[in-house]
Each structure stands twice: as C-alpha cells, then as structure tokens.
Amino acid sequence: MKISSKAIVSNSDMIKNYKECREKAECFGKIFVLKNNQPDAVLFSVTEYERLAVFIEYLESLDGIDIEKFFESLPKEGKRITYSMDNLKSDIK
C-alpha cells in the first residue's frame, strides 16, 4: 500500500484544522493521523466508510466456520504490514 504524504496529518493538525483534515479524507478516501510521530488513527471519508461497511457487515454476518473458510481462501503469499513510522516513511510517494 502506497500512502501519499499529503494523506498524513499530525494529531495537533487534526485538532486545529479538523475541517481541512476532513476535506483531505474526502479527497484521499482516508488520512492517517500521527501522534508523537507514530501512527495513531485513520480518518475515513463517509464514502470510503460506506464502501468498507458493506464488507464489514458481510463478515459480521458469517458464523465461525464460514469465517475460517473465508480466511483460508485468502492468498497465502505476501504478508500484511503492521505500520510503524518506518513503514509509513518507506511507503510515502
């Protein structure tokens, strides 16, 4: 996942300039909020949230066996990245 540096804001910017941050989230779909230079939160636009909510609601509707089958069906290659500041720096375009 590549993250635009324009989609990263500090916690203090979020507090001081919420409207501007909300507009960035609408533009990029989501923005990453850093606190003490570490990933702290993600602000999704309503559009992005609605897109993801369909998938989340589907997963919540599955029972345990179906969830196991779903996860078994996911590709085994590659791995998910746990984002640290180093990961964010390396993924910034």
Average pLDDT over the chain, rounded to an integer = 82
Phi, psi of 45 (to 5 degrees): -70, 160
Distances (CA, A) of 79 to 16, 31, 37, 38, 87: 36, 22, 24, 21, 13
User: Structure tokens of 90?
Assistant: 């390396």
User: pTM (2 decimals)?
Assistant: 0.64
Measured in residues, the chain has a length of 93
pLDDT band for position 91 (cuts 50, 70, 90): low
Is residue 30 exposed (0-12), middle (13-18) or buried (19+ Cβ within 10 Å)? middle
Cα(50)–Cα(42) distance, rounded to whole angstroms?
Answer: 15
